Every structure is written in C-alpha cells, then in structure tokens.
RNA sequence: GCGGAUGUGGCGAAAUUGGCAGACGCGCCAGACUUAGGAUCUGGUUCCGAAAGGAGUGGGGGUUCGAGUCCCUUCAUCCGCACCA
C-alpha cells in the first residue's frame, strides 16, 4: 500500500480542517444511516429532543447528546445495529409569545431556530441518522399524534381486563346489561338498566360514554393562567405560577379535554419493576402518583336523608372522629348548611374561591366555618359537627374528611382553633400518659395500641385497620379503597401553536374526525390572540369547520402531546399509512437507552409511559414500557466571574485586595476573563460605564477576578456557547472535555480553564502517529509485551467504563495509555487505540485512520478484543502494613502461599523496624490485596 | 413538614466485594528549550514537619486486623413534593 506514509511537512493537529473534511465525508457517504438489519442485534439510543429556543444551545445542552453519541458509536463498533435519531419538539409557548409581540408567525421563528440548532449540533459531530428527523409541528408528524388522540377518545379502561378497550364494547354491555355489569374507570357514575339505556336518546348516551372515554370532556377545576390565556396541566404549574413565563395561575371551573391517565396509575407503578431507571426519578413519579390505601365511609347527616362519603387512610381512628370537614367546593357544602349558618357558609365559600393558590400557600392560618349541621359517627353514634374549610381539597379523595384531631396534625390544629373535642384512640408505645388536653401536637404515627375504640380496643394499629375495614364492609357503610394523588391530565390549551384536537361538534356532541381527514392542519389566523368573545385563537380561523360544515374544536394540544410517542415515529418516520409499521416496531421494540434531564420526571416521562401503555393495550407496540434504561445527565452550572468596584468610585480592586476596601461585587462577562485574569482593555470596552475604569492590581500586575458557581444564564454573564469552544479547540476537544468533567449524572460547574487539558491530550494522541520529522509514520514492527499490556489494559478499562457510562474514567484511562505509550508508533498498537478513541473523538480518529492507509470509516471497525494473557502479572506489589498502616511495598510472586509470604515479610529488613521489641499478635494475608501485621 | 441526593487537595474528580486515599486533568512551583511564551518537554504538588514521623475523606461515636466504603448520631448544601386526610 502506497498511501501508508504521507510525508507531509508540519503535520500539526489542524482540527478545523479535519473537522470540516470528515463531517462532509460522513454526510456524503451517509455513514450514520441505519436500516432494519435482521442479521444484527438492535440497539436504540435516544436523546430527549430539544425545544428549539431562540437562545440556541449552551454547553450544558450537548452533555447528554455527547454521552449518547459515544455510547451509540461504541455499540456500532460492538456489532449492533444502532438507531440514534434526533428531532425537534417544535410546538410550544415561547414561539407563540414571540408571535404575539412581533407578529412573526411561530412557524417562521421555529424554522429559524431549528436551523440554528442544526448548525450547532452538526458542529459537534454527532452520529445521528438525519434522514429520520422529526418535528412535532410538521403535519406529517402530528397526523399521528392526532390519530392516537382519536384512539384515546374511542377507548375506555376496563378494570376486569385491566386494559383499554374499544368504546363500542362498552356500548354493547350497556345495551345488554345496563351499568351493573360494567367495571370500568369513569368520572361521574350513573346507574341504569339495559332498558333505561335503550330508551335514552343519542345525546344522553354520548354524555354517559364521555364519562368513560380515555380522552374526555369534563367540567372540572383547572389551572387557569390569565396571562397566557390558557389552562395548564399540574406539572406545568409550580408554586402557583406557570412554568413557562412564571405567570400567576388561578383555579377555575371550566369544561376541558382531559386524558384519563389515572386509569393507568397502578400500571405506572407496577412498571418500575421492569425498567432500569434512576432511583430519584422512580421516587418522584411514585410520589406524584401517590398511592394510598384506606377506606371510603359514608356518614349520615342528622335530621336529613343525605350521606357524606369520606376517604381516610386511618379508618382505625374512626372512634376518635369528633368532627367532619368538607372542602368549600364540595357539592353539599351549602346544601347541608342550616338556615342560621347559610349566610356565613356562603360567605366562606365565596372567600375561599377568590383566594389564589399563591395566597393559600403563603398563609397557612387555620380557617373554616361551622355549617350548623351534624353528622353521625357510624361507630360511636355520636353527633359530630360538620365544618367547611379550605385545608380539605376538593380534588383529593372525596373532598370530605372525618377529622381525628388526636392523630392528625391538621385536624389537631383545627380542633384547637375552634375548641373542638379531641379523643385519643391510639396509645403510644411506652407512653407516659399525658392527658390529651396537654398535648402540644397530635400523635400521627401508626405505632401503638387502640384505646377508647369499642370493638377494636387493644389491637395494634395495623390489625385494627384490617379489622375495622372488614366491619365497615360488612355493615355496608363503606369499603376498602385505594386512592391516587395523580390527577387526570388536562389536555386542551387555549393557544395557537399546538396540534389541533381532531374533534368536531355535531349538535354540540363531540365526535372524532376520521383518519381520512387527518392531519387536521393548523389554520392561518390574523392574530395570535383569543377572540373578542374570549374564544381560543383557532376560533379566528375562517371556515374552522369540517367538510360538511360542523364546527371544529378550537383548543389545541399541550406541549407533551407531541413528545409522548415520538420515539415510535423515529422507527418509521416516513410512513404515511401508519404511526409505525409492525415490521419496524417489532424490530426496534423500544428505547434501550434514554438520556435526558430529570426535570421531565413528572411531565413527559410519565405521559410517555402512559401513552405507550395505551398503545400496548391496542396491540400496536410490543413493549409495555417505552424506555428501558433512563439516564439523567446532570446540569452544567455556570462559573461566574466577578470584579469588585470600590463603592462610589469607578475603581476596581483585584480579588485578593478587596477586603481592604468597601466594595460592590459585579458580574463580569466570562468571555473577557481568562483563567480568572481580567482583560483590562476588553473590560473598558465591555460597557460604556467602565470606559474610564481604574484598577488596583496585585503584585503580579494582574487583575484577579472572584468566581462563583451559579446557574448558567444570560443575566449572570456566564453563558458558554459551544460554538466558541469548537472554534477555538475543535469539536473533539469539546466532546472529550465535557465527558471528562465528571460523572454524567452529576451536576458540575463548567470551567473553561480546564479545557486545555483535553486539548493537550488530543495533541499528544495525534503526535503518536508522527515521527520526529513531523511525518506521518506507523511502524509495522511487532509490539513488545509492555506495549501490548498497556493496550489491553486500556481496552478492558475503556470497554467496562463505557458500558457503565463512566466516560470520565474511560477518558482518563485513554490519557494514561497515551502517556505510557510515549514514542510507540507501532501500527498494531495505534490502530486499535484509534478505534478506542473514535467514539469520543471521531474526527481525529477518522483522520488518523485514513492516514494509516484505510479507505473505510473508522466508525465501522470492530471494537478491539481484550486478551487477558497480555495483562497477566506474575508478581503482585503487596502493601505491607503494621496495625493497618502501610509502611512499605514488596513485589511478591503471585503463586506464593500464605506461609511463604509470611516468611518473606517477617524476614524482610524493612519489617524489623516495625516489629522490634513488639509482640506479633496476628498476621493477616489477603492474596493479591494486602499483608497486615498486628503488633503490640 | 415529608421524601431523595450529595459532602474527599486551591479546583473538576478517582478509589471491584471493606484492603496502599487523592488515579486522570486543571491550577500552582521549579527546571529545560527559546528573541519570546499564554507553545512544548522534564520534575514536584493533601496538610503539618528540616527530617524521622504524624494527621487526614463535613463533625462525633461504633463494628473490624483494616472503614471514604458498613452501623448509630449530628451538621451543611442541593433537589423533589408539599394542607394528599
């Protein structure tokens, strides 16, 4: 082969040239294109696709992408057929808010941002198969989002089958048996017989079916954000403010589309057993789903036919229930109020209603109102007063509680405030019998023995719960019940830039569009605002009707709709006839490795699981869980720099001298600071107010800046753009450095100071392939044992570490390898090393691979095979310790037995010093680990 | 309040099952080569101590021949949920 040796002069590591050359080569040769290949095992590596925001990527964004890219490339080397796609979550509020302000169509903003993202991503050299790119705002894509939504509309959840089932089967059951034979998840329940069903008109039947559909319309309390003009799902609201924009959110009763995700609550919990997810995410989702076991119990109301149902997890404490509380929004609140209290009750309800979430959270003062009515405790038969209070939430359980002040802290506070009786029913273990009147807090624990509790006296709490539930069910005053905190997800948004909901109204009754009418494309409108009548923006569209003239739904879908099933679409992105073909989904199954941020734990990651389980029920996907292994990359924090202005002057004092003055700490742009040394000229030019700045420098004549770790943000002037790093050091350096920073899951600060190390490493690696005349040179000489040992040690460590996603230590072992190889230029060592480097630094690896005389891509080479024959040692360097402290080391043959080791160690010169004048108590020898001599 | 995670040099960090604490990199110090160094190379770099040696993984206690790792306790920081009956 002639092209083995290139005698080019001055073969410096020119990363810019190399980068452009190979990115072009990969693009033109479609190096990363992937198709179904049954001769190879599949592997699916997915990144959470980005929302293309106007700000572009900062160095934190690619962290997960680099990790997944390394893993994908590694899997390819290992012989897997790897699906590694990328796309854009392109519907969303920011582009629409921008449209409202500027009139620019969100589609234009989004397209522009996508271009920018693509450029930035391309710069880093990812191995995505771009032929599979998807965008959630593309009608060809959202056709299938709409299609799934229609399926949700057309299915209900059957508790007997424990899966989704077509709604027509529900109709058949109603037709034949009425409601009695149906065990399904529903919102409002209505009992009827088959005859009654048969007599109902179409509209009535549809109303009933709506209570069962998995996408359903319901009058419910929702999070309403007036500023955004839309409702929001629970995960889109934090502390009473919208996540997007940070505007206040109110509660409002509205008719809304919802997804019946609660039907899947138990399966969402059960699924954790089959997937490999980080513990914290499982924990967060488990809390969000919030399963609790207890009972619902009916309380009769004195002098009335009404009954009120409460939910409790502590039915054992029912003998201590001394009052009852209803949520203000409870349908019975006003109804049960006695005439003399009606006005006050009504006032309280009004007051509670007008209180914002924020107010409610800020002040936790006890408030409530007596209704004048009494309930009857079914066990004590005592009359207990009924209150309304806003500490009871309408959205949880039944919106009513039996209050047991002795054993619930909130009830306790309420009872003290309103002077209500407190009866202790659980005896603390080892109690010193303080009378209840003297308690300063309730006793909420489930440890103890029941007292004052009639039939369950003397039982342990656990047994008492079991016994009392049996009793409750026997006397038909209630039943065992599992409750979930998870709420159904509000699915409509009164906004423009989202998928239109494929529903039309015929005589006010919602119907789904047929598949032929999909996609229902987003119409053009004159303004991106609600109509004067307060209708959502889509109501502005001309002819927002079906072909036969029926009005279409004007709400659009929320952000999570498009991202809930996108991983399926990558498997078969151009299929016009199906969401995904059977062939594709039966080959790719589900995502093997999913990398993304933890902030999606209660949003996307739960919706996607629900979505997938639903499709699984329909038989469309073979796996019940979408993401087999999940990894959360940690956040990259910013490293801010500061200058110190002497108060009231324009003089700035260096960090180590600042304590001598009274100073103001000011953020300074990290781009005019190098290794914490401020560039004075650039600083003067940075902002007009600093033009005439004076400096007090340190002894070295430099201005040292202070620094702090903060969130990366524009206002802190600490945003690091990946493009700048790529420009200055190259993509490979960026990739290596980001991975070398620390464990992938851990949050870590970005520190540009360290990047030189990664750059130097690549330069050193490059130099291995060149002789001292700077000519590319590989020797065909046989490697010696030491060189083989270095190589194979590295193969083992790098492979093991990549499998564990421990990229930081993998790189560290590559660094050690390059350091140890020193001037070795043997092909049999450097070519395998080049392949080991390729996932991390693909550009430089590809260049060197081709310089070495190959015509094919390094990315397609098989991973070097580890041979432990090369790493075998016949001696082990034992640490010899006395009383647990290592004093010296000794090379010993690994085949020696403990007796022999003991003999050698005790006779060693060095040992004498530590043994002399002391008694040897014990000698511990752990082969291939340590020798420890205990002396006294 | 409840739940979770994390505490190791000046900095980012490493350390199979308990077995040489600080690998690797940054920074710093010294030297070499240089007109120059913000290039490159060599050596050093946990702290105290001249050395011998001693101390040391947030603090205190325990188990063990031996603890960053296991147990108890305590403190700090970060994150999630938050009137969920």
Distance measured from the CA of protein residue A808 to the C1' of nucleotide B14, in angstroms:
10
Alpha carbon distance A490, A395 (integer Å): 14
Q: Any atom of strand B under 7 A from CB of A741? A: yes
Using an 8 Å Cβ cutoff, are A386 and A374 in contact? Answer: yes
In the Cβ-directed half-sphere of A21, how many Cα atoms lie within 13 Å?
A: 14
Q: Any atom of strand B under 7 A from CB of A613? A: no
Q: Write down which residues 871-930 in A have CB closer than 7 A to strand B.
A: 877, 879, 881, 883-886, 889, 913, 922, 924, 926, 929-930
Model confidence at A10: pLDDT above 60 = no
How confident is the model over A741-756, as a mean pLDDT?
87
The Cα-based distances of A567 to A148, A242, A573, A591, A836 in angstroms read 14, 27, 10, 7, 29
Residue A8: what pLDDT?
A: 43
Residue A169: what pLDDT?
A: 96
Distance measured from the CA of protein residue A796 to the C1' of nucleotide B55, in angstroms:
37
How confident is the model over A342-354, as a mean pLDDT?
89
Q: Which pair of tokens denotes residue A271?
A: 């699924």
Q: Which pair of tokens denotes residue A910?
A: 């060095």
Residue A361: what pLDDT?
A: 65
**Between A621 and A54, the higher pLDDT residue:** A621
**A519 confidence band (pLDDT: 50, 70, 90):** very high
Model confidence at A587: pLDDT above 80 = yes
Residue A414, nucleotide of least CA–C1' distance:
B83
**Between A236 and A318, the higher pLDDT residue:** A318
* Most confident among A207-216, A456-465, A641-650, A718-727 (mean pLDDT): A207-216
Q: Which pair of tokens denotes residue A914?
A: 């530590």
Instruction: Find the distance separating the first CA and the last CA of chain A, reported in whole Å.
Output: 71
Q: Any atom of strand B under 7 A from CB of A760? A: yes
Residue A363: what pLDDT?
A: 67
The Cα-based distances of A911 to A145, A879, A890, A918, A921 in angstroms read 75, 12, 11, 12, 15
Residues 6 or more apart whose Cβ sits within 8 Å of residue A845 = A834, A835, A837, A838, A858
Using an 8 Å Cβ cutoff, are A211 and A258 in contact? Answer: no
Distance measured from the CA of protein residue A881 to the C1' of nucleotide B73, in angstroms:
31
Q: Any atom of strand B under 7 A from CB of A740? A: yes
Alpha carbon distance A895, A932 (integer Å): 19
Alpha carbon distance A67, A735 (integer Å): 9
Alpha carbon distance A397, A309 (integer Å): 9
Instruction: Identify which of A558, A512, A515, A521 has the alpha carbon closest to the alpha carbon of residue A543.
Output: A521
How confident is the model over A291-307, as a mean pLDDT?
91
Beta partners for A631? A595
Nucleotides of B under 7 A from a protein CB: 3-5, 11-15, 17, 19-21, 23-28, 38-41, 53-54, 65-67, 78-85
Q: Give the DSSP H/E element, type plus range, for residue A583.
A: helix A582-588
Alpha carbon distance A739, A71 (integer Å): 12
Share of chain A above pLDDT 90, in %: 59
Alpha carbon distance A931, A878 (integer Å): 7
Instruction: Identify which of A800, A634, A627 has the alpha carbon closest to the alpha carbon of residue A277.
Output: A627
% helix, strand, coil for chain A, step of 5 = 40, 20, 40
Q: Which pair of tokens denotes residue A311?
A: 């939910």
Q: What is the CB neighbour count within 10 angstroms for residue A108?
A: 12
Q: Write down which residues 290-309 in A have CB closer than 7 A to strand B.
A: 290, 292, 294
Residue A673: what pLDDT?
A: 82
Q: Write down which residues 507-566 in A have CB closer than 7 A to strand B.
A: none
Residue A232: what pLDDT?
A: 82
Distance measured from the CA of protein residue A849 to the C1' of nucleotide B36, in angstroms:
36
Q: What is the pLDDT of residues A217-234, one digit of tens each?
A: 998 778 888 888 888 887
Model confidence at A107: pLDDT above 60 = yes
Q: Any atom of strand B under 7 A from CB of A486? A: no
Q: Give the DSSP H/E element, type plus range, for residue A931.
A: strand A930-935
Instruction: Identify which of A772, A862, A864, A782 has the alpha carbon closest to the alpha carbon of residue A817.
Output: A864
Beta partners for A312? A295
Alpha carbon distance A786, A126 (integer Å): 35
Q: What is the CB neighbour count within 10 angstroms for residue A514?
A: 10
How confident is the model over A138-161, as a mean pLDDT?
97
Residue A362: what pLDDT?
A: 66
SS3 A152: helix
* Helical segments of A711-826, H only: 722-729, 731-740, 755-768, 785-803, 807-821
Distance measured from the CA of protein residue A929 to the C1' of nucleotide B17, in angstroms:
12
* Residue with token string 């639903």: A614
Residue A711, nucleotide of least CA–C1' distance:
B78
Instruction: Identify which of A61, A45, A43 has the alpha carbon closest to the alpha carbon of residue A53.
Output: A61
Mean pLDDT, chain A, integer: 90
Q: Any atom of strand B under 7 A from CB of A272? A: no
Alpha carbon distance A775, A266 (integer Å): 66
A751, burial (CB in 10 Å: exposed 0-12, middle 13-18, buried 19+)? middle
Alpha carbon distance A729, A21 (integer Å): 16
How confident is the model over A735-747, as a mean pLDDT?
92
* Most confident among A240-254, A484-498, A887-901 (mean pLDDT): A484-498
Q: Write down which residues 792-821 in A have CB closer than 7 A to strand B.
A: 806, 808-809, 811-812, 815-816, 819
Which DSSP state fits A460? B
Q: What is the pLDDT of residues A828-867, one digit of tens each?
A: 999 999 999 999 999 999 999 999 999 999 999 999 999 9
How do A591-596 and A636-646 pair as beta strands?
unpaired
ipTM: 0.94
How confident is the model over A368-387, as a mean pLDDT?
94
Residue A599, nucleotide of least CA–C1' distance:
B80
Residue A358: what pLDDT?
A: 65
Distance measured from the CA of protein residue A445 to the C1' of nucleotide B76, in angstroms:
28
Model confidence at A616: pLDDT above 90 = yes
Beta partners for A222? A252
* Most confident among A1-5, A139-143, A669-673, A918-922 (mean pLDDT): A139-143
List b or e across A165-178, with b for residues whose CB sees 16 or more CB atoms inside 10 angstroms: bebeebbebbeeeb
Model confidence at A773: pLDDT above 80 = no
Alpha carbon distance A622, A599 (integer Å): 28
Distance measured from the CA of protein residue A604 to the C1' of nucleotide B77, in angstroms:
29
Q: What is the pLDDT of residues A867-881, one digit of tens each?
A: 989 988 888 888 888
Share of chain A above pLDDT 70, in %: 98
Residue A2: what pLDDT?
A: 32
Q: Give the DSSP H/E element, type plus range, for residue A510.
A: strand A509-512
Alpha carbon distance A804, A463 (integer Å): 45
Residue A735: what pLDDT?
A: 96
List, in sequence order, every beta strand (DSSP E) within A669-726.
673-674, 677-678, 694-696, 706-710
Q: Any atom of strand B under 7 A from CB of A280? A: yes
Model confidence at A653: pLDDT above 90 = no
Alpha carbon distance A767, A788 (integer Å): 19
Q: Any atom of strand B under 7 A from CB of A483? A: yes
Q: Any atom of strand B under 7 A from CB of A312? A: yes
Using an 8 Å Cβ cutoff, are A609 and A271 in contact? Answer: yes
Which DSSP state fits A48? P
């Amino acid at each position: 082969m002639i092209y083995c040796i290139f005698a080019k002069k001055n073969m410096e590591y020119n990363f810019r040239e190399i980068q452009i050359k190979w990115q072009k080569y990969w693009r033109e040769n479609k190096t990363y294109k992937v198709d179904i290949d049954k001769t190879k095992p599949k592997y699916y590596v997915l990144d959470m696709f980005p929302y293309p925001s106007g700000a572009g990527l900062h160095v934190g964004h690619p962290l997960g992408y680099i990790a997944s890219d390394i893993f994908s490339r590694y899997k390819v080397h290992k012989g897997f057929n790897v699906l590694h796609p990328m796309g854009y979550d392109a519907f969303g509020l920011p582009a629409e808010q921008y449209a409202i302000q500027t009139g620019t169509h969100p589609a234009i903003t989004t397209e522009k941002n996508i271009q920018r993202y693509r450029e930035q991503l391309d710069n880093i050299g990812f191995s995505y198969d771009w032929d599979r790119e998807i965008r959630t705002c593309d009608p060809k894509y959202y056709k299938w989002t709409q299609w799934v939504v229609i399926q949700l509309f057309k299915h209900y959840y059957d508790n007997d089958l424990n899966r989704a089932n077509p709604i027509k089967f529900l109709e058949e059951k109603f037709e034949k048996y009425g409601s009695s034979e149906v065990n399904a998840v529903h919102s409002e329940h209505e009992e009827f017989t088959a005859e009654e069903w048969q007599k109902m008109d179409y509209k009535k039947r549809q109303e009933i079916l709506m209570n069962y559909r998995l996408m359903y319309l319901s009058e419910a309390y929702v999070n309403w954000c007036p500023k955004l003009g839309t409702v929001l799902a629970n995960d889109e609201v934090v502390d009473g403010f919208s996540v997007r924009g940070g505007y206040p959110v109110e509660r409002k009763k509205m008719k809304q589309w919802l997804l019946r995700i609660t039907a899947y609550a138990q399966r969402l919990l059960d699924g954790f057993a089959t997937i490999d997810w980080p513990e914290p995410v499982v924990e967060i989702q488990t809390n969000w789903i919030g399963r609790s076991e207890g009972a619902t119990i009916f309380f009769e109301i004195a002098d009335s036919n009404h009954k009120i149902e409460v939910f409790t997890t502590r039915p054992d404490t029912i003998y201590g229930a001394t009052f009852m509380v209803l949520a203000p929004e409870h349908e019975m609140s006003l109804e049960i109020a006695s005439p003399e209290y009606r006005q006050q009750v009504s006032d309280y309800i009004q007051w509670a209603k007008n209180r914002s979430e924020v107010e409610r959270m800020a002040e936790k003062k006890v408030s409530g109102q007596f209704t004048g009515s009494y309930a009857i405790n079914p066990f004590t038969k005592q009359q207990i007063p009924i209150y309304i209070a806003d500490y009871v939430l309408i959205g949880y359980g039944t919106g009513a509680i039996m209050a047991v002040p002795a054993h619930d802290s909130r009830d306790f506070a309420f009872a003290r405030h309103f002077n209500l009786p407190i009866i202790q029913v659980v005896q603390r273990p080892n109690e010193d019998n303080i009378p209840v009147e003297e308690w300063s807090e309730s006793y909420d624990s489930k440890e103890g023995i029941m007292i004052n509790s009639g039939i369950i006296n003397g039982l342990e709490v656990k047994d008492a719960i079991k016994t009392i539930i049996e009793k409750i069910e026997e006397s038909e005053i209630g039943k065992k019940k599992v409750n979930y905190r998870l709420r159904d997800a509000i699915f409509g948004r009164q906004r423009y830039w989202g998928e239109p909901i494929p529903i039309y109204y015929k005589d006010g009754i919602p119907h789904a569009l047929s598949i032929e009418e999909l996609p229902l494309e987003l119409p053009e409108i004159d303004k991106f605002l609600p109509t004067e009548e307060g209708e959502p923006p889509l109501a502005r569209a001309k002819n927002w009707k079906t072909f036969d003239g029926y009005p279409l739904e004007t709400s659009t879908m929320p952000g999570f709709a498009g991202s809930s099933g996108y991983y399926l679409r990558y498997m078969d992105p151009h299929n016009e006839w199906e969401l995904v073909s059977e062939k594709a989904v039966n080959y790719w199954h589900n995502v093997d490795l999913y990398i993304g941020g933890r902030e999606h734990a209660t949003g996307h990651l739960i919706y996607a699981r629900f979505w997938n389980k639903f499709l699984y029920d329909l038989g469309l996907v073979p796996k019940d869980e979408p993401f087999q292994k999940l990894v959360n990359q940690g956040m990259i924090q910013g490293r801010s720099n500061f200058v110190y202005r002497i108060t009231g002057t324009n003089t700035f004092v260096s960090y180590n001298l600042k304590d001598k003055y009274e100073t103001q700490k000011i953020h300074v742009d990290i781009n005019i600071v190098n290794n914490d040394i401020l560039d004075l000229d650039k600083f003067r030019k940075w902002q007009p107010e600093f033009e005439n700045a004076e400096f007090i420098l340190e002894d070295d004549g430099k201005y040292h800046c202070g620094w702090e770790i903060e969130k990366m943000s524009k206002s802190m002037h600490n945003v690091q753009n990946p493009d700048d790093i790529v420009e200055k050091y190259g993509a490979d350096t960026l990739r290596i450095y980001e991975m070398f920073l620390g464990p992938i899951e851990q949050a870590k600060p970005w520190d540009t100071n360290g990047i030189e190390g990664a750059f130097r490493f690549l330069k050193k690696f490059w130099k291995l392939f060149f002789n001292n005349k700077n000519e590319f040179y590989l020797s065909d000489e046989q490697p010696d044992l030491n060189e083989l040992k270095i190589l194979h040690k590295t193969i083992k460590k790098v492979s093991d570490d990549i499998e564990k996603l421990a990229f930081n230590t993998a790189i560290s072992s590559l660094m050690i390898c390059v350091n140890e190889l020193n001037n070795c230029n043997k092909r049999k060592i450097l070519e395998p090393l080049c392949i080991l480097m390729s996932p991390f630094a693909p550009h430089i690896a590809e260049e060197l691979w081709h310089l070495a005389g190959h015509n094919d891509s390094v990315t397609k080479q098989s991973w070097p095979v580890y041979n432990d024959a090369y790493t075998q040692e016949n001696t082990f360097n034992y640490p010899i310790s006395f009383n647990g402290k290592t004093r010296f080391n000794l090379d010993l043959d690994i085949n020696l037995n403990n007796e022999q080791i003991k003999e050698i160690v005790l006779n060693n010169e060095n040992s004498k010093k530590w043994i002399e004048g002391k008694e040897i108590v014990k000698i511990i020898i752990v082969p291939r680990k340590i020798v420890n001599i205990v002396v006294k």
